[in-house]
Amino acid sequence: MGLYGVMTGKKGKSGFGSASTAEDVTHSIDASHLTAIITGGTSGIGLEAARVLAMRGAHVIIAARNPKAANESKEMILQMNPNARVEYIQLDVSSIKSVRSFVDQFLALNVPLNILINNAGVMFCPFKLSEDGIESQFATNHIGHFLLTNLLLDKMKSTARESGVQGRIVNLSSIAHTYTYPEGIKFQGINDPDGYSERRAYGQSKLSNLLHSNALSRRLQEEGVNITINSVHPGLVTTNLFRHSGFSMKVFKAMTFLLWKNIPQGAATTCYVALHPDLKGVTGKYFGDCNIVTPSKFATNNSLADKLWDFSVKLIDSVSK
């Protein structure tokens, strides 16, 4: 959309722009026949996306780590919409064990799955390993969602086949994917504290989200499966993702205040890609301000995407064993 479009809210080809809200982009859409999972749906744009999808009639499963925050979010949605269908299942996306447990609990509900929104994430964290021994930003933002998506694919495929309704997967990436390590993905040093950069590690994880989307999109198309997967950049939004940010980020926000969105605007692109009928059949794309935008060269490198896929599978297998 460009800097001018972000600052002015000028609408793009889709009819929406940076000033559009999640309610705007889903206006008059009936989602009552859909079931959606949203990771990290207890705050920020994840909570807003959960609220709006529920408002449009979708059966929403909030997948989140904190039971107290999840129940408070559920109650907030029900207070605003007593007819909302919203449930909570615990999920710590940084934990492979927790991801597997979540999937088991969800499948036990015996409900369809039309939409998967991989929204949860961490940003600019000091170096830390997850309980599985994986660098925390890579573990949370990529590996957990990669495994979650793969474990839920059969359910999404059967739902699409039996209902005739196209399934949709949305990966929350970021423009930060352009600021990664020189080689794109630091395969030989994912868990190495030497040379670790909080910002480059975050960019690496967001690039991984894009590469995952593109690789899975190609695989689904080759299979002829009625499921799309796309990535989105929500924009600059003040949420608790910035809890690890320091003084320099405060200065940056002060200098770029015209570029920042509120939470309803930040959730718009997620909801647009998840629900809008104009995107039927659109897959393997990257969206910003509810319009298709061009990602970095790394993000469109199929060889890098395939290498990351194989690396992720082997990493998960080694941890599981």
Cα torsion through 235, 238, 241, 245, rounded to 10: 110
Neighbour-count burial for 220-257, b at 16+ CB within 10 Å, e otherwise: beeeebbbbbbbbbbbbbebebbeeeeeeeeeeeeeee
The model's pLDDT over 7-42, given as tens digits with 9 standing for 90+, comes to 556 799 999 999 999 999 999 999 999 999 999 999
The string of pLDDT tens digits covering residues 52-79 is: 999 999 999 999 999 999 999 999 999 9
Q: What is the DSSP letter of 176?
A: G
- pLDDT-derived band at 244, boundaries 50, 70, 90: very low
Domain presence at residue 97? yes
Residue 241, domain member (yes or no) = yes
**Which residue in 196, 202, 272, 286 is the catalytic one?**
196
Token reading at 141: 């933002």
Q: Is residue 285 part of a domain?
A: yes
What is the domain count for the chain?
1
Is 252 within a domain? Answer: no
Q: Is residue 137 part of a domain?
A: yes
Task: Tell me the percentage of the chain whose pLDDT exceeds 70.
Answer: 90
How many other CB atoms sit within 10 Å of the CB of residue 282?
16
pLDDT of residue 254: 43
Helices vs strands, H then E, count in the chain: 12, 10
289, with CB counted inside 10 A (0-12, 13-18, 19+), is buried
Residue 6 lies in a domain: no
pLDDT for 278: 98
Predicted local confidence at residue 236, as pLDDT: 87
Taking the C-alpha atoms of residue 80 and residue 76, their distance in angstroms, rounded to an integer, is: 6
Phi and psi of 255, rounded to 5°?
-80, -20
Looking up tokens 């198309």 gives 221
Q: Which residue range forms the structural domain that includes residue 59?
A: 22-246+260-320
Mean pLDDT along residues 152-162: 98
**CATH, residue 309:** 3.40.50.720
Average pLDDT, stretch 261-273?
A: 97
Over the chain, what is the mean pLDDT? 93
pLDDT at 241: 52
Please check whether residue 273 lies inside any domain of the structure.
yes
Question: Does a structural domain hold residue 300?
Answer: yes
Is 181 a catalytic site residue?
Answer: no
Is residue 185 within 8 Å of 251, Cβ to Cβ?
A: no
Output DSSP code: residue 179.
S
Instruction: Give the residue among 145, 205, 215 at the shortest CA–CA distance from 180.
Output: 205
Residue-wise pLDDT for 94-150, tens only, equals 999 999 999 999 999 999 999 999 999 999 999 999 999 999 999 999 999 999 999
pLDDT digits (tens, 9 = 90+) for 99-109: 999 999 999 99
User: What is the model's pTM?
Assistant: 0.92
Q: Which value, to the nearest 10 degrees, does the dihedral of the CA atoms of residues 258, 8, 299, 102 take?
A: 70
